[in-house]
């Protein structure tokens, strides 16, 4: 909310794909293509060992070289956040990071109330207000470029659910292009890659009720469920129809339990019990077939990556308990 948000947007700027948790997502391809490696570094890829040599399931060597090179650039800046924000070649306002942080701040208010510190929450409420004012401005594609020079949240009006220019109207969910997309601060444009990131904002509760029905239709659309092709109702990490979809390559296609869990909770928050149950059943299906793996083939349910993976197991326990305590607060 400070060094990673000098615009005071209430949204987080990431400086490396690893910070997003979606390491090799197609979202980063264009931004990474601008990075030129000046000096190749020698290192051993331990992730290749972890997946027992199944290199098709993890990021390419080319991409991984850039990951490591960017870490070296951070070292050259001595991890000075201000200098990096001014000069770093990769700067993206990230939807999933910002969505999770927004909900976490909501819970922080609840914690403050529990420990009788509710009179000391002005900063938290300001953070929440900034996110609410700017979520659509940064993450919903409009007809106007974003100005990121403002240093005051009061300069940013809350974006409406519908944008108009002349006779043209852009409404959330009217097509798959009008979902949510990360914003590249360097190219000053939205990253129009159709991935699970576009659907996770249901977790925040920031989608107006007038738009939620059509948004949920995209979550249950065949581009994601692939009815008749996929063995599971859990959502893949990338739209099945896109050229960058790869069914077993990390964040380019496989099913991940954590992102499905966020969407599951968002569906419950808005009252979509049946759609939430489908995702829950899909998660149980892949885990029953392949155990607690890091990620899964959306067509067969085969597990990949880490074995006995703790966050998969923890979230399955949460789904079994079914107490609803993870549903984001109002």
pLDDT value, residue 223: 74
Q: With the CA atoms of 148, 150, 153 and 159 taken in that order, what torsion angle do they form, in degrees rounded to the nearest 10? A: -50
* Whole-structure pTM value: 0.90
pLDDT at 161 over 60: no
pLDDT value, residue 225: 67
pLDDT value, residue 230: 62
Average of per-residue pLDDT values in the chain: 88
pLDDT value, residue 41: 73
pLDDT value, residue 147: 62
pLDDT at 227 over 80: no
Long-range contacts of the stretch 278-283 (C-beta < 8 A, 24+): 278/220, 278/233, 279/233, 279/234, 279/235, 280/319, 281/233, 282/232, 282/233, 282/234, 282/235, 282/255, 283/234, 283/257, 283/315, 283/316, 283/319
pLDDT value, residue 171: 82
pLDDT value, residue 257: 97
Tens-digit pLDDT profile for residues 256-309: 999 999 999 999 999 999 999 999 999 999 999 999 999 999 999 999 998 999
Q: Please, which pLDDT band fits residue 107 given cuts at 50, 70 and 90?
A: very high
pLDDT value, residue 289: 95
């Amino acid at each position: 909310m400070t060094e990673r948000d000098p615009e005071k947007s209430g949204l987080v700027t990431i400086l490396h794909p690893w910070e997003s948790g979606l390491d090799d997502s197609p979202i980063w391809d264009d931004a990474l293509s601008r990075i030129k490696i000046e000096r190749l570094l020698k290192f051993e890829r331990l992730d290749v060992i972890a997946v027992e040599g199944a290199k098709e399931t993890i990021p390419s060597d080319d991409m991984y070289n850039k990951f490591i090179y960017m870490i070296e650039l951070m070292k050259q800046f001595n991890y000075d956040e201000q200098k990096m924000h001014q000069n770093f070649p990769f700067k993206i306002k990230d939807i999933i990071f910002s969505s999770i942080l927004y909900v976490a701040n909501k819970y922080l208010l609840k914690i403050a109330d529990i420990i009788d510190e509710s009179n000391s929450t002005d900063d938290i409420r300001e953070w929440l207000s900034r996110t609410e004012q700017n979520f659509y401005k940064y993450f919903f594609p409009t007809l106007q470029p974003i100005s990121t020079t403002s240093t005051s949240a009061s300069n940013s009006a809350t974006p409406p659910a519908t944008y108009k220019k002349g006779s043209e109207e852009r409404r959330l969910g009217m097509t798959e292009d009008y979902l949510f997309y990360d914003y590249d601060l360097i190219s000053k444009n939205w990253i129009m890659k159709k991935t699970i990131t576009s659907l996770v904002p249901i977790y925040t509760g920031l989608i107006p009720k007038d738009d939620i029905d059509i948004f949920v239709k995209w979550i249950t659309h065949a581009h994601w469920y692939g009815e008749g092709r996929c063995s599971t109702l859990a959502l893949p990490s990338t739209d099945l129809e896109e050229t960058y979809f790869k069914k077993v390559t990390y964040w380019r296609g496989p099913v991940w339990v954590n992102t499905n869990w966020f969407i599951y909770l968002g569906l419950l928050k808005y009252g979509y019990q049946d759609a939430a149950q489908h995702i829950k059943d899909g998660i149980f299906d892949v885990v029953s077939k392949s155990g607690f793996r890091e990620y899964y083939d959306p067509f067969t349910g085969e597990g990949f990556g880490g074995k006995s993976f703790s966050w998969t197991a923890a979230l399955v326990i949460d789904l079994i308990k079914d107490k609803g305590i993870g549903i984001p607060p109002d």
